[in-house]
Structure 1
Amino acid sequence: MLVEILLGIAALGGVWLGSSARVVKQYERGLVFRFGKVHKQPRDPGLAFLMPVADRMRKVNMQVVAMPVPAQEGITHDNVTVKVDAVVYFRVIDPVQAIVSVEDYRYAIAQVAQTSLRSIIGKSELDDLLANRERLNEGLELMIDSPALEWGIHIDRVEIKDVALPESMKRSMSRQAEAERERRARVISADGEYQASQKLSEAAAVMANTPAALQLRLLETVVEVAAEKNSTLVLPFPVELLRFLEGAAGANQKPAAEITEQSQEKSG
């Protein structure tokens, strides 16, 4: 009889242990409610024992949560319609506040993130959304972190993922970028021509002061053309040589005219 009583007590003890034992994982904290009242000190990771019937445990994940924010459509400060989506990284720092202060902290963070993202879109210009996202991320993080602290949530960071533009705006920006590249190309080409003209002017001045330099340049050009194994060689003729030949021809004609006049005088 005594053995049966001991077995019954052992069975009851086993049932009690099985119903009261809970395992809290390393990344969790166990929040215990006793008759509806929360214990201020959450249970640490490991094996935790509860009072049957009286205690209820709710586990809270303490890991960093990456929550995507759906794309929000809005009008920027410079009247451009865009769709912007983001991602919020947050974690629970106070399990009691996260469970007691708000009904569903994940849903609450999602709603605050969406409204804050719409507000950021309305206050920003398109160029800021495309090129100055770091400042917008910081402002968005502050807007979400302010109410989240009251819920025991810490916002680690907020990142704007993508900015979707209308097709007409994409075409306009493409034309603008193409025009800008063409303008830069023309400026670079004009600057190159200007520098080349300065160098040619300096070279002409040197050749004018040293006539032999022109002949050396002519010979160098002939060598470069001959190196191509062409069947026809075009040889430039210096203008100075033509002037020299013209002057020499005029000098030869003058003595002949004088000889003719002298012979006419003798015959007369």
Structure 2
Amino acid sequence: MASLSFIIPIIVVAFIVLQATIKILQEYERGVVFTLGRVSRKGAGPGLIFLIPGIQTLRKVDMRTLVADVPPQDVISRDNVSVNVNAVIYYRVIDAVRAMVQVENFKEATSQLAQTTLRSVLGKHDLDEMLQERDQLNKDIQKILDEQTEAWGIKVANVEIKRVDVDGSMIRAIARQAEAERERRAKVILAEGELQAAAKLREAAAVLSAEPQSMQLRYLNTLQEIASDKTNTIVFPFSPEDIGKMLGKS
């Protein structure tokens, strides 16, 4: 029993030392080894990593593409419309050492930067642009984030604006504005049609005035069209003698 009580502590100590000495990194992980506080091995792994207990420490970094949901942000658009916007960003670590050394918590830092960038970029655009030019806004935000996170060893691959929510009162105002715009366009189209018709009538009048006989024939043709409907009572503005003269001249 005495020997067993002596062996068990040795086994426990050996297990603790072994656990501190050997680390296993997965295929998608890389490790940064610090020796007495200084980086001694960059991008170690995957597989077995051997450390000197008490002297060396290992920090693991996930090299896969990470997905971060940007919490909803209140944004005031350039045309003073209050909207609530949220997005999602896709990024990955390309330099494990910089991600560990240059920033305290690269995940939190990237999330906070995405929130401020989202508000800053969208605040420079009108509501219509937020709704209609979402692809371009995604690219603008992605470019800004990628440039600022490069110093942290992070590559922002994509940004997607998921939702742009507008207050209910603003939705009604936008609907009224859209209806007014449709009415304005309808009136413009009608006015353009009347303008074109007036131009054609002016051309026709010029042709008829050049040939008096054409005017008389047009008058008779109009009378014939009216006479085809027996329910109408026709009042001739000319006397029969005048009509006879016109027929004689034609």
Answer yes or no: same fold by TM over 0.5.
yes
Gaps of 5+ in 1: 1-11, 226-231, 249-268
Shift of 1:114: 1.5
How many angstroms apart in 1 are the aligned matches of 2:168 and 2:178? 15
1:110–1:192 distance in 2 versus 1, CA, 3 Å = same
1:167–1:50 distance in 2 versus 1, CA, 3 Å = same
How many angstroms apart in 2 are the aligned matches of 1:247 and 1:185? 44
- Match runs of 1:29-68 below 5 Å: 29-33=30-34, 37-45=38-46, 47-51=47-51, 53=53, 57-68=58-69
Q: 1:22 aligns with which of 21, 24, 35?
A: 24
User: Aligned-residue CA RMSD in angstroms?
Assistant: 4.0
Look up the SS of the partner of 2:88 in the other structure.
strand
1:121–1:191 distance in 2 versus 1, CA, 3 Å = closer
Alignment-derived partner of residue 256 in structure 1: none
Task: Report if aligned partners of 1:76, 1:122 keep a CA contact under 8 Å in 2.
Answer: yes
Fraction of identical pairs, as percent: 40
Task: Report if aligned partners of 1:30, 1:57 keep a CA contact under 8 Å in 2.
Answer: yes
Task: Report if aligned partners of 2:121, 2:141 keep a CA contact under 8 Å in 1.
Answer: yes
Shift of 1:103: 3.2
Deviates more, 1:90-99 or 1:155-164: 155-164
How many angstroms apart in 1 are the aligned matches of 2:90 and 2:219? 75
Alignment-derived partner of residue 164 in structure 2: 163
Alignment-derived partner of residue 244 in structure 1: 240
Look up the SS of the partner of 1:169 in the other structure.
helix
How many angstroms apart in 2 are the aligned matches of 1:87 and 1:107? 14
1:44–1:213 distance in 2 versus 1, CA, 3 Å = farther
1:198–1:143 distance in 2 versus 1, CA, 3 Å = closer
In the superposition, the TM-score normalised over structure 1's length comes to 0.63
Alignment-derived partner of residue 84 in structure 1: 85
Shift of 1:235: 6.5
How many angstroms apart in 2 are the aligned matches of 1:199 and 1:123? 48
- Match runs of 1:1-268 below 5 Å: 20=22, 22=24, 24-25=26-27, 27-33=28-34, 37-45=38-46, 47-51=47-51, 53=53, 57-131=58-132, 133=134, 136-137=137-138, 139-141=140-142, 143-203=144-204, 209-210=213-214, 211-215=216-220, 221=225, 233-234=230-231, 237=234, 239=236, 242-245=238-241
Task: Report if aligned partners of 1:24, 1:59 keep a CA contact under 8 Å in 2.
Answer: no
In the superposition, the TM-score normalised over structure 2's length comes to 0.66
Shift of 1:65: 2.3
1:41–1:239 distance in 2 versus 1, CA, 3 Å = same
Deviates more, 1:180-189 or 1:31-40: 31-40
How many angstroms apart in 2 are the aligned matches of 1:216 and 1:124? 62
1:122–1:181 distance in 2 versus 1, CA, 3 Å = closer
How many angstroms apart in 2 are the aligned matches of 1:21 and 1:187? 75
State the number of aligned residues: 222
Gaps of 5+ in 2: 1-13, 245-250
